[in-house]
Amino acid sequence: MNDPVYGFVSIPYGILFDLVEHPYFQRLRSIKQVSLTHYVYPGALHTRFHHALGALHLMTQAIDSLKRKGIKINKREAEAAKIAILLHDIGHGPFSHTLENTLIKAHHEDLSLLFMERLNEEFHGKLTLAIKIFKGKYKKHFLHQLITGQLDMDRMDYLNRDSFFTGVAEGVIGYDRIIKMLNVADGRLVVEEKGVYSVERFLTSRRIMYWQVYLHKTVVSAEQMLKLVLKRARELYDQGIEVWSPPTLAYFLSNKISGKDFRERRNELLDSFAALDDTDISAAVKAWQQHTDPLLAYLSYGLINRRLFRLEFSDAPFSDEYQHLIRETLRNHPDLPPGAEDFLIVGAESNSAYSTLKDEIMILRKNGEVVPMSKISTFGLAPRTFTKYFLSYPKEISELVDKGTPTKCGTN
């Protein structure tokens, strides 16, 4: 196929091609990679399908590069690693991370594993080794690190792809050089010393992409509104009030499904989940603009027509006094429906560009010594998580809030 990021990408006939053709995988065509980011970056309409194939392409390059350096990876292991990276995101629900633990109380990686186990039965055990590698249970740990780690093919593709489709040049990484610098020492993935600067650029790009794209205040606002829409729809279902939605969505709105449920009723729930994608949510929200419930209608209209909530970021938690002011203003505003005080959203977003606590990037020095990147880099790596607190509410009350603002931040 012709990929806009990498050019021509080949998918070999056999199990990999058959998996791509499977309905479970084809479903990823209808799940956006970066959720509602297109509200800010209009070109960001690429899907999990694009990303999975891109990650497969990079895995193929990484395995070929390692084999040229004498690393022993047999045909069976190579195929299994490619299967694992191809299916690593198959458990994502509508709008990717946004509705995770909102619509369904289950993590996408757990669902991906359940899908892989189901497919393994369907393909008569051909995914057994891929599942071992995916779970980190195979003896050649570096294969698992290529799938999930601080320098894996998943991150390599989504940074490269997301920067391409958003047009954020700061996110561009030298993926090809990094892949060529990969090696294996003592069974672990390492980067040759001359690739350190490319890795530093990778980490910088990742940090910038998080704050400039994934955690852009307008993106966060839109995603929080979508969560509120689904929350309100479920409340109405619980009250016995009719809420039209596609049958695929109605099932999950009317039933509270957890990860435990998926494990106990795997085949039934995976089939129901596999029938659900972005189009179901979008169709429902579009219809809910005319719903008789004023809260659901207000939220749905705002989301469809980009009348998004105001969002404020802060380095410290917002004070109780400030939150109380906003709730009272929402409650008493004549242009907002009764119950609008529940439209105040309070939360936090965190990002850690690099961690020294688990599976640190290891550097292979020219003398053969292997050292953690934090010990060799002059980049100033620190195991620090940056947290921003946010508060979001309808823009109708912005002026009133600004006029009566008490101390915004404080210790709750």
**C-alpha span between 351 and 226 (Å, rounded):** 22
Query: Hey, what are 52's tokens?
Result: 């999975």
pLDDT tens digits for 312-351? 999 999 999 999 999 999 999 999 999 999 999 999 998 8
pLDDT per position as a tens digit, 178-223: 999 999 999 999 999 999 999 989 988 988 999 999 999 999 999 9
Residue 412: what pLDDT? 45
Overall fold of domain 217-257+276-349+389-403: Growth Hormone; Chain: A; (1.20.1250)
Whole-angstrom distance, CA of residue 12 vs CA of residue 70: 23
The pLDDT of residue 286 is above 60? yes
| CA separation, residue 252 to residues 26, 263, 281, 303, 341 (Å) | 21, 16, 11, 21, 26
Q: What is the pLDDT of residues 358-394, one digit of tens each?
A: 788 999 999 999 998 888 766 655 566 788 999 999 9
pLDDT of residue 64: 97
Beta strand residue intervals within 193-288, DSSP E: none
To 5 degrees, how large is the angle CA 179–CA 183–CA 188? 120
Per-residue pLDDT band for 352 (boundaries 50, 70, 90) equals confident
Nearest alpha-carbon partner for 92 in 76, 106, 77: 106
What type of residue sits at position 324? H
Condensed to tens digits (0 to 9), the pLDDT of residues 20-76 reads 999 999 999 999 999 999 999 999 999 999 999 999 999 999 999 999 999 999 999
pLDDT at 237 over 90: yes
Confidence of residue 162 (pLDDT cuts 50, 70, 90): very high
The model's pTM: 0.94
Please give the CATH topology (third level) of the domain spanning 2-216+361-386: Hypothetical protein af1432 (1.10.3210)
Q: Where are the domains of the chain?
A: 2-216+361-386, 217-257+276-349+389-403
